[in-house]
Structure 1
Amino acid sequence: MEPLVEVHTDEEMTIALEAGARVVGVNNRNLHTFEMDLETTERVALVAAAMGVPWQNPTESWTRDRIVLSALSGITGPEDVKRFETMGVSMVLVGETLMRAEDPAKAIRTLLGEEDPTPVSEQRLVKVCGVTNVEDASTIATAGANLIGVIFAEGSPRRVTEKRARDIVKTVQAFGERNSPKHIEPPPQTDSSAEWFQAWSRKLVEASHRTPLVVGVFQNQPMEEIRRIVAETGLDLVQLHGDEGMEACAECGVPALRVVHVPAAAPGEERVESVLVGGERASPSAKSRAEEVLAQAPPNFAAGVLLDTSVKGVKGGTGLPFDHEVAKLVGEAGVPVIVAGGLDPDNVEVCVIFTESFGVDVSSGVEEAKGVKNPGEVKRFMEQARLAHKDLTAKLKQEEEEEEEEQGERI
């Protein structure tokens, strides 16, 4: 049996080789700061070269005069595997990427270059909001969520203190092997809302693919307070949930999602049951409400549009759905939306397939008490949402192929 000796620094590599280690793993993560640097393997490997110790090429048979070099941590795509393979690394250790993958088998094939990765344009987001403690944050991050919401809005039963928010942010950053907020460069300004929000949707997917982002939720609070909390807690994103307007999103210090409130489905006309199963008819007011949403979504300000339910002046946190036909119509107009309100593990799949939404947002639907998430329900929600995303991608591809076939027949 040959032990694998883990190293991170030049000094540790020297000690390992002088002790006779033949299988050496270079950890690209600094376990003190959690900072990730893929160049660590390349840099530390030079120590072996300077000592005259060659390492095994992956295509060659191993001999005792060579070390087996392994790269540990930070491998997220086939380009990373190829990078290390080119420099002669024999093995890579992959953990978090597979844990967060909706299809681990496909993720492995993708890492090996046997299958193309899912295009960013086909990927979608899952947000879990109302997180109040580090244990839930860790559970949600491990389950594969893209966005983790912490609430600062006054009056919310899930409101957190700034200290608690900092602890949650640090937990999420540690999981993502980073020690600072994620910087996301906004897309070029444009006159088209569809073009603007589609560009942001791709950027949000790319930024949250490997590590979740923490979103601070505010409602009608002074901008100075929002910017201060962002700076002091390390939030990655902000979500404005009140009457701030789209323009305020550009003043938060970090990219901001803007909530547009849609009235709850009316009993007798837009029954909750029919809405959630994607009833055959749209509500009479769905078209006008979709037009209202689009009118509130000009380009060049918000990083995304989130639709949530309002009930008699209560905006968000109602646990009730709105007419999902509104979300479907807004999406068909070219503006990607995140759907919130009344979602849970049992209805999220139908919601995704029917609305074809860019993302979904859950809070009370995965709780065992206000502000306390149920780990099993979180996992189940993630599984159902990712399954729905996979099925939706297949559905859209099939529709595209059928449309191309029909056009060919007409020609």
Structure 2
Amino acid sequence: MTRVKICGLTTTDDLEMAIAAGADAVGIICDVPVDTPREVSRVRARELVEAAPPFVTTVLVTMPEGPDQAIELVDAIEPDALQFHGSIGVGDLSYVRAKVDSQLLLAVDADDAQTAHTYDDVVDGLLVDTPGEDGGGGTGTTHDWARTRKATDGLESPVILAGGLTPENVPDAISTVEPFAVDVASGVEETGGVKDPTAVRSFVDRAKDAGRPVQP
């Protein structure tokens, strides 16, 4: 079954709603150098992480200036996983992984998804997203799923598919890419940073239905 991450949560109410809808992971955005209504302070990020129950993965999404800032953030917020956006070398990723207890996820641009193979040995998961001009994700724009499937074929790390996913298109996206998980933010929102409960439930249900094996 395909796992689901609801990203860009800013309130405890939205976090609890996403979990009640069946989300396997919740994404909290903090310390990013881009303009987004989904960013929260370090204090708020820690509160949201602490509000998540056992067996739901909390993911800190950030674009740190360097590995030391990433380590500092993890120490302050204590998420289950760190999702790293922006340019970083394999050596710096290895350094971060050695210094934190959180699992390490790396976002790669769909336009250059083949680079995921470079990082396959040093991360716990690879997220393929549609790139924005500022280097961040959350564009609400899809990419070529067939191309992504081909570019990520043979990876040992789990592949997380992001970029313009909605309740309407997520079944086709899963059918094409067959990812370990899907990641959505703007595709389930009423307005920027505010989730739509009906859209969240629909997204989770349709993603999980699409990822179920076909019964003989």
TM over 0.5: yes
Structure 1 counterpart of 2:141 = 320
Structure 2 counterpart of 1:217 = 61
How has the CA–CA distance of structure 1 residues 156 and 214 changed in structure 2, closer, same or farther, with 3 Å as cutoff? Answer: farther
| Cα deviation, residue 224, structure 1 | 2.6
Deviation string 1:5-58 (CA, Å, 9 cap, x unpaired) is xxxxxxxxxxxxxxxxxxxxxxxxxxxxxxxxxxxxxxxxxxxxxxxxxxxxxx
Asked if the contact 1:307/1:338 (under 8 Å) is kept, the reply is: yes
**Partners of 1:332 and 1:222 in 2: CA distance:** 29
Asked if the contact 1:327/1:357 (under 8 Å) is kept, the reply is: no
| Cα deviation, residue 155, structure 1 | 2.3
| Cα deviation, residue 125, structure 1 | 1.7
| Cα deviation, residue 330, structure 1 | 3.7
Asked if the contact 1:149/1:214 (under 8 Å) is kept, the reply is: yes
| Cα deviation, residue 371, structure 1 | 1.0
**Partners of 1:322 and 1:303 in 2: CA distance:** 23
**1:333 partner SS:** coil
Q: How many residues align?
A: 209
Mapping for residues 7-406 of structure 1, pairs under 5 Å:
123-152=1-30, 153-157=32-36, 158-172=38-52, 175-176=53-54, 211-250=55-94, 251-252=96-97, 253=100, 254-263=102-111, 289=112, 291-294=114-117, 296-299=118-121, 301-335=122-156, 336-390=158-212, 393-394=213-214
| Cα deviation, residue 247, structure 1 | 3.6
**Partners of 1:334 and 1:256 in 2: CA distance:** 16
How has the CA–CA distance of structure 1 residues 362 and 219 changed in structure 2, closer, same or farther, with 3 Å as cutoff? Answer: same
Deviation string 1:332-352 (CA, Å, 9 cap, x unpaired) is 324431110000101001100
Task: Please state which structure has a larger fraction of its residues in strand.
Answer: 2
**Partners of 1:128 and 1:342 in 2: CA distance:** 13
In percent, how many aligned pairs have the same letter?
31
**Partners of 1:241 and 1:290 in 2: CA distance:** 14
**Partners of 1:148 and 1:249 in 2: CA distance:** 22
| Cα deviation, residue 313, structure 1 | 4.9
| Cα deviation, residue 331, structure 1 | 4.5
User: Match of 2:130, as an amino acid?
Assistant: T
| Cα deviation, residue 327, structure 1 | 2.4
User: Match of 1:167, as an amino acid?
Assistant: E
Asked if the contact 1:220/1:244 (under 8 Å) is kept, the reply is: no
User: Match of 2:60, as an amino acid?
Assistant: G
Structure 1 portions without partners, runs of 5+: 1-122, 177-210, 264-288, 399-411
User: Match of 1:318, as an amino acid?
Assistant: T
**Partners of 1:313 and 1:231 in 2: CA distance:** 26
**Partners of 2:34 and 2:152 in 1: CA distance:** 32
Q: Which moved more, 1:319-328 or 1:305-314?
A: 305-314
How has the CA–CA distance of structure 1 residues 345 and 226 changed in structure 2, closer, same or farther, with 3 Å as cutoff? Answer: same
How has the CA–CA distance of structure 1 residues 228 and 315 changed in structure 2, closer, same or farther, with 3 Å as cutoff? Answer: closer
**Partners of 1:150 and 1:247 in 2: CA distance:** 25
| Cα deviation, residue 384, structure 1 | 0.5
Structure 2 portions without partners, runs of 5+: none
Asked if the contact 2:6/2:25 (under 8 Å) is kept, the reply is: yes
Deviation string 1:351-381 (CA, Å, 9 cap, x unpaired) is 0011111111000000111111111111110
| Cα deviation, residue 215, structure 1 | 0.7
| Cα deviation, residue 130, structure 1 | 0.7
Asked if the contact 2:49/2:77 (under 8 Å) is kept, the reply is: yes
RMSD: 2.0
Asked if the contact 2:15/2:48 (under 8 Å) is kept, the reply is: yes
